């Protein structure tokens, strides 16, 4: 289970498509596609499905996405905290 995989899942959920997610994450479409595939393979679950309008979560995906979002959010806060500390120190 890798960070880029979790980020990919969250981004696809946000945007509804792999192609848009790839733009957000600044990687190519195939990279995102593989990330998700590998994640699903490792977890042994289908997380996403094609629907009439883009990619959407499966029932299982819906139970996973919350944890994925929390993970990404925690990382973001760690990053922000570090910047915050540096901000005071660096002047």
Partner DNA sequence: TCAAATTACGGTCGACGTAAGGATC
Partner DNA sequence: GATCCTTACGTCGACCGTAATTTGA
29 touches DNA by CB under 7 A: yes
Between 41 and 53, CB nearer to a second copy: 41
The reply on whether position 45 binds DNA by CB under 7 A is no
Q: What is the dihedral of CA 76, 61, 48, 42, to 10 degrees?
A: 80
Q: Do 31 and 19 contact (CB within 8 A), yes or no?
A: no
Q: Does residue number 62 form part of the binding site for a second copy (CB under 8 A)? A: no
Q: How many residues sit close enough to a second copy to count as binding (CB under 8 A)?
A: 23
Q: Establish if 67 lies at the interface with DNA (CB under 7 A).
A: no
- 37: partner contacted, choices DNA, a second copy, none (Cβ within 5-8 A by kind): DNA
Q: Which residue is listed with tokens 């696809």? A: 12
C-beta neighbour count of 33 within 10 angstroms: 16
Does 54 engage in binding with DNA (CB under 7 A)? yes
Q: Is 1 in the site for a second copy (CB under 8 A)?
A: yes
Residue 24 site contact among a second copy, DNA, none (CB < 5 to 8 Å, cut-off depends on kind): none
């Amino acid at each position: 289970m890798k960070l880029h995989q979790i980020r990919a899942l969250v981004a696809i959920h946000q945007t509804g498509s792999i192609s848009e997610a790839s733009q957000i994450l600044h990687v190519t479409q195939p990279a995102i596609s593989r990330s998700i595939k590998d994640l699903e393979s490792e977890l042994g679950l289908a997380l996403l499905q094609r629907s009439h309008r883009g990619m959407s979560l499966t029932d299982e995906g819906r139970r996973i996405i919350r944890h994925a979002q929390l993970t990404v959010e925690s990382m973001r806060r760690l990053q922000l905290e570090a910047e915050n500390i540096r901000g005071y120190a660096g002047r």
